[in-house]
C-alpha cells in the first residue's frame, strides 16, 4: 500500500435478508433484498462516517428479487428491473408505469438527456421513449446475435456487451459495429463515466501512469455505487462506505514516504479557497524533494525543484561550501526553514564531496584512488553545472529588482534635491563591492552574480564569465578579485576592473602582464601585447585623457603608429600630448609630431610644426658640430635627421623661418638656409646659394618651378621674374663669401626690428605678408631697371646700386651654358624680350635656336589665332547689321478700315504704333495709356507686398 486514499467504514450491518441491489438517493441508501422488500436507510448524523439507521422498510416492493435499479434524479423517478421494468415516483415509491414488454429483460440503460430507455430481452434490444407523464412509447426493436450481458447509451447509439466482445448498435437502423473483444476470462462490462465517455472492461495489468494506490480487502462485494462523495459497497448482509481521506492528510503521507511526485499532484487538487495552504505545502514538498534528488546525484532535477519552491538562493548556495559569498545583512524567511532538522548542516554533512571544488591532484599511484578522484571531479562538475542553470533562471528577476530599486532611489533623491545622496548612489552603483550595499535587492543580486562567476570559473567557462562582466552585473569586487588572482584568470580580472571603472588598476595589471609575456619563462597562458593596452585606452580618451597619456608612454616606443592613432581617434589635444611627451618622453616627441603630420597634416598646429623643426635642427646641428670637430664635414652629406629636416622645411609652413635662420652656422647647411630664405621670399639670395654655394643648378631650377607654380599666375610679374632672377645670377660673377654673409647679416638685423618672438603663428603670417610686399616692390624696381637698360650684359641690370661692387665680374666666368639650358627648357615661362636684353652681346644666334624657335612658333600661332578671332567677330557684326536692316524694311499699310486693337476705333490720320508682330495696330495715345496703367498696377502690388 502506497498510502491511504480511502477509509473503510461499515454503515449497515446484519441485514435480515441478502442484498440484491443497492442505490443512493440523496443522502439515503436504497437496499433491495431477496425477499422482495426495499429497505431505506439514512445516516445517523451529518458525519459521513456515521452508521446508517433503517428509516423505512417497504415489504413486498416486488414479487421477485430485483435484478438492478437506478434513481433518475432529474425526473424524480426510480427505475427497477425485476420481472419487468417498472417506474416508481420518488420519494413515495408509488408505481406509475410498468413496461410489460420488458418481461424477461436482464439488463437496461437509461438516457437521461433524451429520456430514452433501452433494454435487452433474450436476443432482442428494445428502445422506449418517456412521454413526460406516466406513459412510455416504443420506438425501435432490433435483433442481436446473442444474449446481451451489458449495455450503455453512447450518444445516439448503444454499446452492447455480447458474448465476449463489444459492439455498437445504431439506434436508427440497427447496424452492428464490432469494437474489440473483452478477453476469455471476464464477461464484457460497460460503465458510463461522468465525462460522457464509456469504460469498457478488459483484463489488463496495472502499469504507469496508473499505479496501484491502495488495496481494500472485502469479500463477496456484489454492488458498487456513489453517495455523498463516498463509495458504497454492498456485501451479502452488510454495506460498507469508502470515505476519501482528506487531501492534506494524503499529502502528508506521501511526503513522509518519499512519494513527492504524487504529493505534488494531490496539491494541485486542493480547492481554490485553500490557495495559501497549497502554496505552502508545494514549497515544502519541493524543498524536501530537491534535497532528496540532490543527495542521490540528480542535481539538475533538484535545482528545478528548488526553483519551484522559491526558496532563497542563499539556502541553495549553502549546499556549495566552496563558493564564497559576500556577507549579507538581510535576514530571509528561508533561513528559518527546518527540513530534516537542520537543513544546512545536513546538506553540508551529507555532501562532503563538494567541500573542495578545486581540481584534485592526479598524482596518486593506486588505481582506486585515481578512479575516486575522477568520479569526484565529475560529480563536482555536474553539481556546478546544475547550479549555473539555476542561477541563470533566477538572475533576471534579481537584476530587474536591483535596477528598479536603484532607479527609485535616484528619483527620490532628485525630487528631494538630495544631490549628496544621489552622488553616493552613483558611486555605489559604479564601484560594486568596494563598500557595503544598503539595498536588499542589490545585495541579493551581488550574492547571485558572485556565486555565478565562481561556478562558471570552476567549470572552465571563462568566455561566459566575460559575457557576464561585460553586461550589467553586481559581482562583489573584493571576492571576485581574490579568486581571479588566485586562479590566474587575468583576462577576466581585467574585465572586472574595467566594469567597476578601476582603470588605473587594470592598466597597471595589463602593463605587468605585457612585461611578463615577453619572458619565455612566464607562466601566463594568455600572451599579452602592447596593443592590448592601446585597445584598453581607446574608450578612456574622452573621459580621462591624463590617464591615457600616462599609460600610452609605456607603449609609444613599441607600437608608435597605434598609439598616435589612439591620440587622433580619441581627439586628445595635440598640444597636451606634446607637452606630456616633452616632459616624460622627450626622445619620442619628434616621432610623435612627424607621425601626427604624416597621418593628418591639419591636426598639428603651427606651434607644434615649429617645435618639430627646431627638434630636427637641434639634432642636425649636433651632428654638424661632431663632424666639424673631426674635420669630416661635407655639405652634401645627409643623415636621416637632416633629410627629415629638409623635407619638413619644404613641406610645412607653420614654423618661424627667421628664428631658424639665426641658428644656422655661417659656413654650412646652405641648403637649409636657401629653403628658409625662400620661405621669406628672398628668392635672389636663395638662388645664389643653390648656384654659387651648393653648385647644384638643378636645385635652383626646381626652386624656380615651385615659386612659379605657387603663384598660379603664369603671366604675372612674380612668376615670370623668378627665372629672370636666376638668369641674372648665372650671368653675374660669383659673390665672395664675406659680401654674401654681409647681406644675410643685414637681412637678419632688418628682420629683428619687426619680428616678434618665435611661437606666434599670427606674427609669422603678418611678417610673411609684409615681406611679400617688400620683395614685390624690389622686384618691380628690378623689372623697371631691366626694361630701361641697354643690351650690354657685362653686368646684371637687376642689381641695386649699392650692390654693384659685389656683383662685378672680378675675373669670374659667366655661366652661359646654364643660361642657355634655362632658356631652352623654360622658354614658355620667360619673357623673351627681357631675357634677350640680359644676354651678352657675343651670344650666338644659333645657341638660341632652342629658345627662339618654339617662342616664335607660339607667337605666330597666337597672332594667327587672334586674326581668326578678329575676322569671325567682323563677320558676326555684319550678320547682325543685315538682320537689323531686314527688320527695319517692314511695311505697314493703313487704310480707312484699320482699327485700334485697344479702343476699337479707326486709326484714321492719328499717330499710331505697331507691335513687333507687324500686324497689331494701336493709337499711340492708347499704347502710352496702357503702358502707364501697367506701371501703376505693378507699383500697387509692390506696395502691398511691402
Q: What is the CATH number of the domain that holds 91?
A: 2.130.10.10
Task: Let me know if residue 635 belongs to a domain.
Answer: no
Domain boundary residue, one of 311, 333, 356: 311
pLDDT for 306 equals: 92
- Cα–Cα distances (Å) from 884 to 880, 889, 890, in that order, read 6, 9, 11
Residues 260 and 236 reside in one and the same domain? no
What's the whole-model pTM score? 0.57
Residues 590 and 691 reside in one and the same domain? no
| DSSP-derived secondary structure for 848-881 | GHHHHHHHHHHHHHHHHHHHHHHHHHHHHHHHHH
Contact criterion met (CB below 8 Å) for 406 and 319: no
Residues 906 and 880 reside in one and the same domain? no
10 Å CB burial of residue 192 (0-12, 13-18, 19+) is: middle
What are the residues whose beta carbons fall under 8 Å from the beta carbon of 752, sequence distance 6 or more?
Answer: none
**Cα 901 to Cα 898: distance, rounded to the nearest angstrom:** 9
Give me the residues of the chain with pLDDT under 70, please. Answer: 1-2, 48-49, 182-187, 189-212, 222, 328-376, 409-410, 412-439, 520-523, 525, 600-603, 712-720, 733-812, 938-946
Task: Let me know if residue 907 belongs to a domain.
Answer: yes
Residues 63 and 134 reside in one and the same domain? yes
Q: How far is CA 685 from the centre of its chain?
A: 65
Q: What does pLDDT average to over the chain? A: 76
Task: Let me know if residue 668 belongs to a domain.
Answer: no
Range of the domain at 549: 505-594
Residues 838 and 903 reside in one and the same domain? no
Residues 835 and 859 reside in one and the same domain? no
- The secondary structure element, H or E, covering residue 68 is strand 68-72
Task: Let me know if residue 15 belongs to a domain.
Answer: yes
Task: Let me know if residue 409 belongs to a domain.
Answer: no
pLDDT for 186 equals: 56
pLDDT for 424 equals: 43
pLDDT for 467 equals: 93
What are the residues whose beta carbons fall under 8 Å from the beta carbon of 938, sequence distance 6 or more?
Answer: none
Task: Let me know if residue 162 belongs to a domain.
Answer: yes
Residues 260 and 230 reside in one and the same domain? no
**Which three three-digit cell numbers place residue 512?**
605587468
Residues 274 and 175 reside in one and the same domain? no
Residues 236 and 284 reside in one and the same domain? no
Task: Let me know if residue 189 belongs to a domain.
Answer: yes
Contact criterion met (CB below 8 Å) for 545 and 570: yes
CB atoms within 10 A of CB 902: 16
Residues 76 and 183 reside in one and the same domain? yes
pLDDT for 591 equals: 78
Residues 72 and 192 reside in one and the same domain? yes
Residues 74 and 130 reside in one and the same domain? yes
Number of domains the chain is built from:
6
**Cα 838 to Cα 40: distance, rounded to the nearest angstrom:** 155
Task: Let me know if residue 583 belongs to a domain.
Answer: yes
pLDDT for 48 equals: 63
Contact criterion met (CB below 8 Å) for 684 and 712: no
Domain boundary residue, one of 594, 628, 658: 594
Amino acid at each position: 500500500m502506497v498510502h491511504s486514499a480511502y477509509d473503510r467504514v461499515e454503515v449497515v450491518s446484519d441485514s435480515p435478508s441478502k442484498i440484491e441491489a443497492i442505490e443512493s438517493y440523496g443522502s439515503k441508501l436504497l437496499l433491495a433484498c431477496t425477499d422482495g422488500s426495499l429497505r431505506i436507510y439514512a445516516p445517523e448524523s451529518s458525519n459521513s462516517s456515521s452508521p446508517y439507521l433503517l428509516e423505512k422498510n417497504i415489504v413486498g416492493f416486488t414479487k421477485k428479487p430485483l435484478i438492478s435499479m437506478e434513481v433518475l434524479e432529474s425526473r424524480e423517478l426510480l427505475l427497477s428491473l425485476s420481472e419487468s421494468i417498472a417506474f416508481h415516483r420518488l420519494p413515495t415509491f408509488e408505481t406509475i408505469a410498468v413496461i410489460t414488454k420488458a418481461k424477461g429483460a436482464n439488463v437496461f440503460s437509461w438516457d437521461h438527456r433524451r429520456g430514452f430507455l433501452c433494454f435487452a430481452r433474450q436476443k432482442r434490444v428494445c428502445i422506449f421513449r418517456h412521454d413526460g407523464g406516466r406513459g412510455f412509447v416504443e420506438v425501435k426493436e432490433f435483433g442481436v446475435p446473442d444474449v446481451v450481458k451489458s449495455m450503455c447509451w453512447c450518444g445516439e447509439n448503444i454499446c452492447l456487451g455480447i458474448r465476449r466482445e463489444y459492439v455498437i448498435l445504431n439506434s436508427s437502423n440497427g447496424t452492428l459495429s464490432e469494437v474489440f473483444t473483452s478477453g476469455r476470462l471476464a464477461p464484457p462490462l460497460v460503465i458510463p463515466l461522468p465525462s460522457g465517455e464509456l469504460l469498457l472492461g478488459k483484463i489488463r495489468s496495472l502499469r504507469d501512469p496508473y499505479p496501484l494506490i491502495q488495496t481494500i480487502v472485502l469479500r463477496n462485494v456484489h454492488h458498487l455505487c456513489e453517495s455523498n462523495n463516498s463509495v458504497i459497497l454492498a456485501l451479502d448482509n452488510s454495506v460498507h462506505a469508502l470515505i476519501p481521506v482528506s487531501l492534506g492528510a494524503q499529502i502528508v503521507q506521501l511526503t513522509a514516504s518519499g512519494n513527492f511526485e504524487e504529493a505534488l499532484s494531490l496539491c494541485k487538487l486542493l480547492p481554490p479557497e485553500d490557495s495559501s495552504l497549497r502554496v505552502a505545502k508545494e514549497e515544502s514538498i519541493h524543498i524536501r524533494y530537491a534535497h532528496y534528488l540532490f543527495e542521490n546525484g540528480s542535481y539538475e532535477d533538484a535545482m528545478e525543484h528548488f526553483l519551484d519552491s522559491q526558496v532563497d538562493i542563499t539556502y541553495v548556495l549553502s549546499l556549495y561550501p566552496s563558493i564564497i559569498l559576500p556577507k549579507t545583512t538581510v535576514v530571509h524567511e528561508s533561513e528559518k526553514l527546518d527540513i530534516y532538522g537542520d537543513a544546512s548542516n545536513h546538506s553540508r554533512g551529507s555532501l562532503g564531496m563538494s567541500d573542495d571544488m578545486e581540481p584534485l591532484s592526479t598524482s596518486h599511484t593506486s588505481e582506486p584512488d585515481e578512479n575516486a578522484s575522477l568520479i569526484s571531479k565529475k560529480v563536482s562538475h555536474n553539481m556546478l553545472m546544475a547550479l549555473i542553470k539555476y542561477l541563470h533562471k533566477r538572475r533576471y528577476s534579481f537584476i530587474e529588482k536591483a535596477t528598479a530599486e536603484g532607479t527609485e532611489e535616484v528619483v527620490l533623491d532628485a525630487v528631494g534635491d538630495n544631490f549628496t545622496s544621489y552622488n553616493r548612489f552613483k558611486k555605489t552603483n559604479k564601484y560594486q563591492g568596494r563598500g557595503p550595499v544598503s539595498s536588499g535587492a542589490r545585495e541579493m543580486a551581488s550574492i547571485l552574480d558572485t556565486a555565478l562567476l565562481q561556478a562558471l570559473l570552476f567549470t572552465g567557462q571563462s568566455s561566459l564569465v566575460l559575457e557576464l562582466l561585460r553586461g550589467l552585473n553586481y559581482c562583489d569586487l573584493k571576492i571576485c578579485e581574490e579568486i581571479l588572482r588566485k586562479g590566474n584568470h587575468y583576462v577576466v580580472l581585467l574585465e572586472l576592473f574595467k566594469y567597476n571603472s578601476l582603470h588605473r588598476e587594470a592598466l597597471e595589471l595589463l602593463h605587468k602582464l605585457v612585461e611578463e609575456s615577453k619572458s619565455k619563462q612566464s607562466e601566463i597562458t594568455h600572451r599579452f601585447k602592447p596593443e592590448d593596452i592601446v585597445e584598453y585606452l581607446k574608450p578612456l580618451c574622452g573621459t580621462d585623457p591624463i590617464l591615457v597619456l600616462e599609460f600610452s608612454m609605456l607603449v609609444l616606443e613599441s607600437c608608435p603608429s597605434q598609439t598616435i592613432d589612439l591620440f587622433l581617434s580619441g581627439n586628445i589635444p595635440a598640444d597636451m600630448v606634446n607637452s606630456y611627451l616633452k616632459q616624460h618622453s622627450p626622445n619620442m616627441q619628434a616621432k610623435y609630431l612627424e607621425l601626427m603630420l604624416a597621418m593628418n597634416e591639419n591636426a598639428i598646429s603651427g606651434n607644434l610644426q615649429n617645435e618639430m623643426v627646431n627638434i630636427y635642427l637641434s639634432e642636425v646641428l649636433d651632428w654638424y658640430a661632431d663632424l666639424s670637430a673631426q674635420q669630416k664635414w661635407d655639405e652634401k652629406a645627409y643623415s636621416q635627421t637632416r633629410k627629415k629636416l629638409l623635407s619638413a622645411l619644404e613641406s610645412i609652413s607653420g614654423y618661424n623661418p627667421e628664428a631658424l635662420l639665426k641658428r644656422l652656422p655661417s659656413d654650412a647647411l646652405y641648403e637649409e638656409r636657401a629653403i628658409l630664405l625662400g620661405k621669406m621670399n628672398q628668392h635672389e639670395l636663395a638662388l645664389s646659394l643653390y648656384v654659387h654655394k651648393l653648385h647644384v643648378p638643378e636645385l635652383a631650377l626646381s626652386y624656380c618651378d615651385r615659386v612659379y607654380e605657387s603663384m598660379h599666375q603664369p603671366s604675372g610679374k612674380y612668376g615670370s621674374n623668378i627665372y629672370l632672377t636666376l638668369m641674372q645670377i648665372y650671368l653675374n660673377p660669383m659673390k665672395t663669401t664675406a659680401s654674401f654673409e654681409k647681406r644675410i647679416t643685414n637681412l637678419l638685423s632688418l628682420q629683428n626690428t619687426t619680428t616678434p618672438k618665435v611661437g606666434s603663428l599670427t606674427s609669422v603670417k603678418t611678417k610673411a605678408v609684409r615681406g611679400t610686399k617688400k620683395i614685390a616692390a624690389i622686384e618691380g624696381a628690378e623689372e623697371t631697371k631691366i626694361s630701361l637698360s641697354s643690351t650690354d650684359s657685362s653686368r646684371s641690370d637687376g642689381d641695386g646700386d649699392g650692390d654693384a661692387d659685389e656683383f662685378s665680374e672680378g675675373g669670374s666666368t659667366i655661366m652661359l651654358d646654364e643660361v642657355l639650358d634655362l632658356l631652352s627648357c623654360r622658354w614658355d615661362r620667360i619673357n623673351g624680350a627681357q631675357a634677350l636684353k640680359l644676354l651678352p652681346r657675343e651670344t650666338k644666334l644659333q645657341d638660341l635656336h632652342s629658345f627662339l624657335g618654339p617662342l616664335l612658333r607660339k607667337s605666330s600661332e597666337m597672332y594667327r589665332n587672334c586674326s581668326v578671332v578678329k575676322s569671325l567677330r567682323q563677320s558676326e557684326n555684319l550678320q547682325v547689321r543685315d538682320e537689323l536692316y531686314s527688320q527695319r524694311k517692314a511695311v505697314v499699310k493703313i487704310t480707312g478700315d484699320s482699327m485700334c486693337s485697344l479702343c476699337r476705333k479707326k486709326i484714321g490720320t492719328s499717330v499710331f504704333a505697331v507691335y513687333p508682330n507687324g500686324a497689331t495696330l494701336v493709337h499711340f495715345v492708347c499704347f502710352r495709356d496702357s503702358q502707364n496703367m501697367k506701371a501703376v498696377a505693378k507699383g500697387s502690388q509692390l506696395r502691398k507686398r511691402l
